Chains A and B, each alone.
Chain A
């Protein structure tokens, strides 16, 4: 598809949103990553950028920018973002998983596959980190194998243990901390997704490629 030129709109008086599309699309995600690298390269710490699936939010200080001045400074960068290795290839991160999640049998029943088939499909895909959010270090990974797509649980659990590997919709992810959660738990990992004393604190960054590796 042809990637459309993005729209810019204010997100209050301290941020703006750059929007490529209202629907998720792999080409749009590439455009977002390219522009993300370009904005970070050009503006450094002057602004704070937050990627979404089809958007980038840019937070700024009123002392440094007005909305029109920042919009005008961003426009040429968005027209010619250029290419970087970070935006095109991405880093590969492998995450070891013990597939013994408490929802594994339920998921198997719902999608009509054996547990072995679910593990095979979940480990076969190389996922991309589209964005982080929900809690620090939670990376939204996709796209999930279509045979594994299920709606979220109708009632979220009040507490999902840190390290739980989960699926919902066309996404998969790992809970970095004990939090409430509505995704289906299929396994757990010992990988530390978020550690404030580590640099960088989040194991995954936008644009990373992720592969889950089954452990016995």
Chain B
């Protein structure tokens, strides 16, 4: 597979790491894991193979063997040799054909899953690219024109499938309170829920920076560095929250007023730069129910795609 154009932030991503947070390696992997997993199912791949994550501009690739592929996530336009082809659908490409994907301005991350998967060497078990440490993926860096990426062995005949775009349901992002609840007065929780925030263009795969009504702690405070989590809403002294994404730090000293619920993380990651986000507080038990329900729904969808007859 040859990269003709890479976009501003094109990387190889899979579902990332687990078990290495205590040595400073975050979970990483696709910012919208649901989109990559659906893409892999449509491309006839087992769950967890690596694909391309595309952000900040168009990516164009040239096939060097016959392959099926599927584009998911924030896809604006998708072309194969200049002809428009559908996203969220299995598409067959022949060797020599070029696929061009432009991300959608209403989202942030698009995915290209290719039959056989992108077969870069694994680092600590994952093919994800962790840019802050220059690790994994393709030489630990973002993709660039001229890069040549190996693909894994393509499966047998792939049953073509299509699916509706995973819910980009508008509506507030659900958050649970804590762990530094006690550093904030009731008003800080009301501020977050009442005021829409905008996603700053300074946001990256490490964190989404929000701009809006400042959130104030009872007193200016930082903590001795402690473990964080993807989705954690950190409140620095200037009151403009920073929400941790896949490549965010494993530890930090900012107060965390709350955490985006697991079931809404992918939807949150897809809020476009400059886009508006609003939050609603939910109880932890509701978050855990939503998380189990979302993973059940996704498992059913993936299994339907994999068993659908042509």
What per-residue 1/0 map shows which CB atoms of A58-94 lie under 8 Å from chain B? 0100110011000000000000000000000000000
A19–B227 alpha-carbon span in the complex (Å)? 11
Are the C-beta atoms of B134 and A178 separated by less than 8 Å? yes
Using A11-B229, A132-B22, A196-B123 as known contacts, say yes or no to A22 and B262 having CB atoms under 8 A apart.
no
> Which of A59, A62, A134 meets B229, CB within 8 Å?
A59
A137–B25 alpha-carbon span in the complex (Å)? 8
Inter-chain contact count A-B, CB under 8 Å?
Answer: 152
Are the C-beta atoms of A135 and B287 separated by less than 8 Å? no
> Which of B23, B134, B136, B177 meets A137, CB within 8 Å?
B23
B23, B124, B228, B295: most-surrounded residue (chain A CB, <10 A) = B23
Are the C-beta atoms of B260 and A12 separated by less than 8 Å? yes
What per-residue 1/0 map shows which CB atoms of B223-245 lie under 8 Å from chain A? 11111110110000000000000
A45–B178 alpha-carbon span in the complex (Å)? 25
Which residues of A are found within 8 Å of B21, using beta-carbon distances?
Answer: 48, 50, 57, 59
Which residues of A are found within 8 Å of B300, using beta-carbon distances?
Answer: none
Which residues of A are found within 8 Å of B284, using beta-carbon distances?
Answer: 10, 13, 67
Using A17-B226, A133-B250 as known contacts, say yes or no to A12 and B133 having CB atoms under 8 A apart.
no
Are the C-beta atoms of B133 and A13 separated by less than 8 Å? no
B8-38 interface with A by 8 A CB criterion: 18-25
> Which of B177, B179, B291, B295 meets A19, CB within 8 Å?
B179
Chain B: interface residue total (CB-CB under 8 A): 48
Are the C-beta atoms of A48 and B23 separated by less than 8 Å? no
Query: How far in angstroms is the closest Cβ of chain B from A158?
Result: 13
Are the C-beta atoms of A57 and B24 separated by less than 8 Å? no
Between-chain CB contacts (< 8 Å), 26 pairs: A10-B179, A11-B227, A11-B259, A12-B232, A13-B176, A13-B288, A45-B19, A51-B227, A52-B223, A52-B226, A52-B227, A53-B225, A54-B226, A55-B226, A55-B227, A62-B291, A62-B292, A63-B295, A66-B288, A131-B251, A136-B130, A177-B135, A194-B133, A201-B20, A201-B23, A202-B24
A residues engaging B (CB < 8 A)? Answer: 9-17, 19, 22-24, 45, 48-57, 59, 62-63, 66-67, 131-138, 140, 176-179, 194, 196, 200-202, 205-206
